[in-house]
Amino acid sequence: MKSPHCHPEGAHRILAGLGAWLDRLDPGTHRRVKGLRLITAFGLAAMLATVPQIAHDHGALLGTLAAGFALWASVSEARSTRYESARDLILLCLSAGVGAASFALFAKWLGAGWAELTLVSGSFAVGYLKRFGVLGGGIGSQLLIGQLLAFGAAITIADLDAVALAVALAILASVVPRMLSGPVEQPALSMLPPDGEEHEIAPELVMGLQAAIAALAIVVLGKFAGLTQSAWAIAACTYIVANTSAGTIDRIKRRVVGTMIGVPLGLACLPFASELPLLIWAMAAIAIIVYAMALPERYDIACGAYAFALVVTMAATGEYTLGILAARAWETIVGGALGLAVLLLLDRSLPLLRPLLRPSAKTQSRPVQIPSEDS
């Protein structure tokens, strides 16, 4: 006969093991605090967008943009003081608004069939602007995030007032939690290796070209092969780009593995997504905390956590079919494969392009700190 203490002891061992794993993943609890701040910023922006005196006639569009701007600005922000963090968050939210507005403007000019070409510019900015440090990398990411959100919401020039209001709400929703977290957060930073000799091409330029070419290939492929949600593939091929070929290949492997684990787990929650929405949102919140904790050092875990959170929240809204949700995994693989193909192509082509891309002595890039927490 089992002792009545077996179950409590087993639960204690499980909790102790979980705590030890969390401590290894996030020593000092700094990233857990940031994860809570991400959830707070997202929720606060979404809540403010539902206030009748604020929302007016914008409906769900305002909440989608404001919450997305606030969430990813908080991910990209990587400062240790309140003043610097508030300044960066304001600029990051503004950058997301610029990205969304640029999509609305170029979509009208390009036409509905080729509006995704706007995302190519955002993909290039993600890689190239890292040469300007922490804030530059974040601004590049926010430009693309704004374009992706605008593409998903199909905004037009008539929606630019909603974009401006979303920026204001995102600034409020992201700055307030950061002011409250104070010095508890200590962002993880990594050094971007400096360029080698003068004849070497700036790594940020190579990163931008790799992402832009892969994004362009995905747009063309989506146009003629019919990708369900090509924006997901563009995001995948953009954020796998690292400053070395080996780093990019490693990120491709980790993103594919993480997505192939996170998406099926999310799909497994579909049967009770509509009946237990509170549980679904709680699980998504926990996944975002894990995402913030794992992102600097365990990109595979971060990708799996984000994929899970995205799938379950999409399912909770009831707006997406099983086929569209499953396309998340497939098109992430497509994005990774195209990113790898472009990497190999550039490795063969760069020697021929060196005379055109060689930076001058005045523009030679310097070693700068960039956040290891790519969005």
Task: List the pLDDT tens digit at each of the 375 positions of the chain.
Answer: 445 555 566 666 776 666 676 667 666 667 778 888 999 999 999 999 998 888 777 778 899 999 999 999 999 888 878 888 899 999 999 999 999 999 999 888 877 667 888 899 999 999 899 888 888 999 999 999 999 999 888 888 989 999 999 999 999 999 999 988 766 666 665 544 444 444 456 778 878 888 888 888 888 877 777 666 677 788 888 888 877 778 888 888 888 888 888 888 888 887 887 778 888 889 999 999 889 888 888 888 999 999 899 888 887 776 666 666 666 667 777 777 777 777 777 766 655 555 555 554 444 443 333 333 444
User: Rounded distance, CA 353 to CA 9, Å?
Assistant: 64
User: Rounded distance, CA 342 to CA 334, Å?
Assistant: 12
Which two structure tokens, joined as six digits, stand for 34? 């940031």
- Sign of CA pseudo-dihedral 71, 73, 75, 77: negative
Contact 118, 355 (CB under 8 A): no
Residues whose CB falls within 8 Å of the CB of residue 65, separated by 6 or more in sequence, listed in order:
100, 149, 150, 153, 155, 162, 163, 166, 170
Check residue 44 and give its pLDDT: 94
Residue-level length of the chain = 375
User: Rounded distance, CA 17 to CA 118, Å?
Assistant: 47
Of 345, 373, 372, 365, the residue nearest 128 (C-alpha):
365
User: Rounded distance, CA 250 to CA 243, Å?
Assistant: 12
User: Rounded distance, CA 14 to CA 10, Å?
Assistant: 6
Q: Nearest 10 degrees: CA dihedral of 257, 258, 264, 265? A: 140
Bridge partners (DSSP) listed for residue 272? none
Residues whose CB falls within 8 Å of the CB of residue 182, separated by 6 or more in sequence, listed in order:
82
User: Rounded distance, CA 137 to CA 115, Å?
Assistant: 24
Q: Nearest 10 degrees: CA dihedral of 332, 338, 339, 340? A: 110
Of 309, 269, 303, 267, the residue nearest 288 (C-alpha):
309
Contact 146, 375 (CB under 8 A): no
Of 271, 258, 260, 247, the residue nearest 343 (C-alpha):
247
Which two structure tokens, joined as six digits, stand for 232? 């997901």
User: Rounded distance, CA 67 to CA 55, Å?
Assistant: 13
User: Rounded distance, CA 144 to CA 214, Å?
Assistant: 14
User: Rounded distance, CA 304 to CA 316, Å?
Assistant: 18
User: Rounded distance, CA 78 to CA 105, Å?
Assistant: 30
Of 7, 296, 94, the residue nearest 102 (C-alpha):
94
Check residue 170 and give its pLDDT: 96
Which two structure tokens, joined as six digits, stand for 245? 């070929």
| Residue type (1 letter), 287 | A
User: Rounded distance, CA 254 to CA 157, Å?
Assistant: 38
* Domain range annotation of the chain: 29-189, 193-360
Residues whose CB falls within 8 Å of the CB of residue 40, separated by 6 or more in sequence, listed in order:
173, 177
